Structure 1
């Protein structure tokens, strides 16, 4: 049974979402939380597997809430439920530890499928197109950004305060996770997925 929290300051919306999810035999919504200040107490009491979080709760940024509690409870998986189809929001959500970014305009069936995907596998999924973002770490995203700025591995190692060998390992890991064949391919895919900004890309032979 998947234990789920819903964090949304609109109680009526949260209860409606709870009703949808609890029609599924393998899902139980333990709590609809409207006040993020109470989240830690409820986590300690119910130990949820998944928290579905609005991008804005009262005056609180839901993405900051995710970052805070993902640091404390790394095994909990967070799904952002948002009315904003904005790449920058998606990128920040994943950087802060979210496993999925679902739009409020998506169908209930889509959300149910995302809950199951997130629970079963270590993936990151964004919006109704269901494209999967390889699980780059925040450090790998930082290095990918530096790769896009026409920097060699040696230069990146100096900026990131890491050995050249470590940078080479990260670059190899990035290319593998993004399922591409080159540094340039990694940068282009990183832009397409919203992991880095297009303005960071410099077309240069060193990226090939």
Structure 2
């Protein structure tokens, strides 16, 4: 028989959080003690409920998941934690690990992966994706322009039609830093306008 696991969820997407709770409550040894809509409420709930495990998103208002993670590790080190994020990003996985998370899952995972990770983390193990599987191959056209690793990341996100603000949020950078990187990219590619950058990306098949 599996030992009981008490869990607190934290996600500002109510429908998603309710769906996870419904799924987990079908498992006999799991109890979902509550759902927090942001990182600050999560901290308060953990202090009151003392669960075995917290499952939290990164993008949350008031206090994001990584900052909440850091506070949990400092103040409540016995509580195990899993980041459940929409971002399949090696940089964020590394950040989550450095902030003290015990596991990282992408929201596209299935029920089996989620339950397996909960089992591993609640037993004291860590559960992170293999970085090599998450890394996408570098597009060959990047090599000839001497772009930095960060500039390559930003160019790929531009190609996904993210705004500067969305890129800043995704990479945990200031919008000023993103704008500076974007100017440097334009200079290195010898492009003069956003339309020219769009044509470049289409021509290179990125």
TM-score normalized with structure 1 length = 0.58
Instruction: Give the distance between the partners of 2:18 and 2:65, measured in 1 at CA.
Output: 18
Tell whether the 8 Å contact from 2:38 to 2:64 is kept in structure 1 after alignment.
no
TM superposition shift of 1:29:
0.5
Does 1:31 find its partner at 2:41?
Answer: no
Deviates more, 1:110-119 or 1:52-61: 52-61
CA distance in 2, matches of 1:106, 1:27: 19
In structure 2, the residue matched to 1:12 is: 15
Task: Return the offset for 1:45.
Answer: 2.0
- The answer for the alignment partner of 1:153 in structure 2 is none
Structure 1 residue runs of 5 or longer lacking an equivalent are: 132-208
* 2:18 equivalent to 1:22: no
What is the match of residue 106 of structure 1?
Answer: 109
**2: CA distance between counterparts of 1:123 and 1:10?**
26
Aligned pair count reads 131
**Structure 2 runs not aligned, ≥5 long:** 135-206
Residues 1:115 and 2:108 aligned together = no
Aligned to 2:92: 89
The runs of 4+ residues in structure 1 deviating greater than 6 Å are: 127-131
Other-structure match for 1:74? 77
Higher strand share: 1
Structure 1 residues 104 and 128: CA distance shift in structure 2, 3 A: farther
- CA deviations 1:121-145 (Å, max 9, x no partner) are 33242279999xxxxxxxxxxxxxx
Query: Does structure 1 conserve the Cα–Cα contact (< 8 Å) formed by 2:38 and 2:63?
Result: no
CA RMSD of aligned residues (A): 2.2
